[in-house]
C-alpha cells in the first residue's frame, strides 16, 4: 500500500467518526493473557448484542476506495443496531499500516471488539506477535494468547467473560480460537483443544456451574459441510461455495459437544457462504456474512447480528446489511 493511500484512508476514517459520536457503556479488564472480562452496563430486553464482521481484506487488494466503503458500511451497521460488542473473525487487514488504521477505526466505535486471526492477517510486513503488540495499545480491541513458554509457542486463543453491571457470574463466555496456519497447517491443534477443555473446567469450578458459551474463529470445521449436506436439518441463509475447512478433522467440534458449554460457533473464511443451522450434538454452526467490499462478488456486504439472551432464551441470529438514507 502506498503512503498516499494510507493517509487517504486515515483521513476518511477521521471524517466518518466525526459523524458518529458514541458513548461507551462497557468496561474491559484483562485478567490473564488468555482471560478478559467485559462488563456491560446497559442491556436491552433482547440480551447482549454482537455484530460479527468478517473477511474485510482491508489493504490487501490495493483498492482503497473499496476499503473506505467497507468502513462506511460497518459504521452504518453500528449506527443502525448499536451492538454491545463486535467480533472480527479474521482476514481483516494486510500490512502494519492498515492494521494500525483498523485498530484506530474500531476503537473509535467505543465498544469492545473481539479479534481472531485469519489465515491472511499476518502476511506481509507484520507477524502475529507484531499484531498482538499493536493490540496492546488498543483501548477497545480484545486479543489474548496462551502457551508462551510451551515448545509449540503462542496460540492466540482466549476466553471472554461477559458480565452485567453489578453481577459477578458471567451471563456468557466467548472462546476466541486461532485456526492458524500453525507452521503451515490451517486447523486448531491438539494443544489448543487441551487449553479449551481446561479453561472450561476451571470456569465451572470457579462459578459452580457451566457458563453458556459461544466460539468465534476464522476457518470453518468440517461439520459445516456435514451440516449443509444433511437435507434433514433446517438451515437459514445461503451456500454458494464448498466449505473450505482446510485441515480440520472435526476434533474441535467433538470437544465442544463433549464439554457441553458451547451453544453456537461463528466463523468466516468462505466469502460466499452465510448459512447457519443446528448440527448433531446441539450446536449451531454459523457462518459470518462477508463485510469486505474488496472481495465481494455475491451480495451486498454486511454482517451477522447475534443476540445472546440474559435469561434462558435461545440465541437469535440474522444477516444484516446497511441501509442509507440517501
How would you class 325 by CB atoms within 10 Å of its CB: exposed for 0-12, middle for 13-18, buried for 19 or more?
exposed
Average pLDDT score over residue span 287-308: 93
Half-sphere exposure (Cβ direction) of 150: Cα atoms closer than 13 Å: 10
Helix (H) or strand (E) holding 302: none
Q: Which residue has the cell 442509507?
A: 324
Half-sphere exposure (Cβ direction) of 213: Cα atoms closer than 13 Å: 28
The predicted-structure confidence for 182-224, as pLDDT tens digits, reads as follows 999 999 999 999 999 999 999 999 999 999 999 999 999 999 9
The predicted-structure confidence for 56-88, as pLDDT tens digits, reads as follows 999 866 678 899 999 999 999 999 999 999 999
Q: Which residues, 6 or more positions from 260, have their beta carbon under 8 angstroms from its beta carbon?
A: 210
Grid cell, residue 135, equals 493490540
Give me the residue spans of the domains in the chain: 3-9+24-312
- Cα–Cα distance, 276 to 172 (Å, whole number): 20
At residue 61, the pLDDT reads 61
Q: Which residues, 6 or more positions from 290, have their beta carbon under 8 angstroms from its beta carbon?
A: 54, 55, 271, 272, 274, 296, 298, 299, 301, 302
Rounded to the nearest integer, the mean pLDDT of the chain is 91
The predicted-structure confidence for 216-259, as pLDDT tens digits, reads as follows 999 999 999 999 999 999 999 999 999 999 999 999 999 999 99
At residue 214, the pLDDT reads 98
Q: Which of 124-133, 252-261, 280-289 has the lowest mean pLDDT?
A: 124-133
Q: Which residue has the cell 484506530?
A: 104
Q: Could you give the C-alpha distances from 14 to 7, 50, 54, 140, 179, in angstroms and in order? A: 11, 24, 22, 17, 32
Identify which of 66-70, 124-128, 263-267 has the greatest average pLDDT: 263-267
183: helix, strand or coil:
coil
Q: Is the pLDDT of residue 178 over 90?
A: yes
Average pLDDT score over residue span 284-299: 91
Cβ proximity of 158 and 138 under 8 Å: no
Q: Which residues are bridge partners to 38 per DSSP?
A: 28, 162
At residue 173, the pLDDT reads 98
The predicted-structure confidence for 18-33, as pLDDT tens digits, reads as follows 444 445 578 999 999 9
- Cα–Cα distance, 253 to 285 (Å, whole number): 10
Give me the architecture of the 3-9+24-312 domain, per CATH. 4-Layer Sandwich (3.60)
Residue burial 235-264, b: 16+ Cβ < 10 Å; e: rest: bebebeeebbbbbbeebbbebbeebebbbb
- Cα–Cα distance, 116 to 89 (Å, whole number): 5
Banded model confidence at residue 181, pLDDT cuts 50, 70, 90: very high
Amino acid at each position: 500500500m502506498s503512503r498516499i493511500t494510507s493517509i487517504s484512508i486515515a483521513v476518511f476514517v477521521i471524517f466518518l467518526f466525526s459523524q458518529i459520536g458514541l458513548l461507551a457503556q462497557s468496561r474491559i479488564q484483562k485478567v490473564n493473557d488468555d482471560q478478559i472480562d467485559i462488563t456491560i452496563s446497559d442491556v436491552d430486553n433482547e440480551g447482549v448484542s454482537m455484530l460479527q464482521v468478517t473477511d474485510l481484506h482491508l489493504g490487501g487488494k490495493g483498492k482503497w476506495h473499496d476499503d473506505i466503503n467497507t468502513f462506511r458500511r460497518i459504521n452504518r451497521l453500528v449506527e443502525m443496531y448499536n451492538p454491545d460488542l463486535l467480533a472480527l473473525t479474521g482476514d481483516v487487514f494486510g500490512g502494519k499500516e492498515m492494521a494500525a488504521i483498523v485498530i484506530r477505526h474500531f476503537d473509535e466505535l467505543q465498544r469492545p471488539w473481539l479479534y481472531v486471526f485469519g489465515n491472511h492477517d499476518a502476511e506481509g510486513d507484520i507477524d502475529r506477535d507484531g499484531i498482538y503488540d499493536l493490540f496492546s495499545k488498543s483501548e477497545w480491541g480484545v486479543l489474548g494468547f496462551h502457551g508462551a513458554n510451551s515448545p509449540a509457542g503462542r496460540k492466540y486463543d482466549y476466553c471472554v467473560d461477559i458480565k452485567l453491571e453489578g453481577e459477578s457470574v458471567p451471563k456468557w463466555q466467548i472462546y476466541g480460537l486461532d485456526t492458524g496456519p500453525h507452521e503451515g497447517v490451517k486447523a486448531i491443534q491438539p494443544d489448543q483443544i487441551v487449553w479449551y477443555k481446561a479453561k472450561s473446567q476451571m470456569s465451572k469450578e470457579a462459578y459452580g456451574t457451566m457458563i453458556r458459551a459461544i466460539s468465534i474463529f476464522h476457518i470453518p470445521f468440517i461439520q459445516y459441510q456435514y451440516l449443509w449436506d444433511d437435507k434433514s436439518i433446517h438451515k437459514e441463509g445461503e451456500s454458494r461455495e464448498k466449505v473450505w475447512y482446510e485441515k480440520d478433522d472435526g476434533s474441535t467440534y467433538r470437544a465442544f459437544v463433549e464439554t457441553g458449554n458451547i451453544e453456537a460457533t461463528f466463523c468466516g473464511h468462505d466469502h460466499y457462504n452465510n448459512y447457519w443451522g443446528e448440527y448433531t450434538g446441539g450446536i449451531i454452526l454459523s457462518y459470518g456474512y462477508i463485510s469486505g467490499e474488496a472481495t465481494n462478488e455475491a451480495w451486498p456486504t454486511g454482517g451477522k447480528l447475534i443476540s445472546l439472551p440474559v435469561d434462558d432464551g435461545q440465541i437469535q441470529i440474522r444477516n444484516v446489511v446497511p441501509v442509507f438514507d440517501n
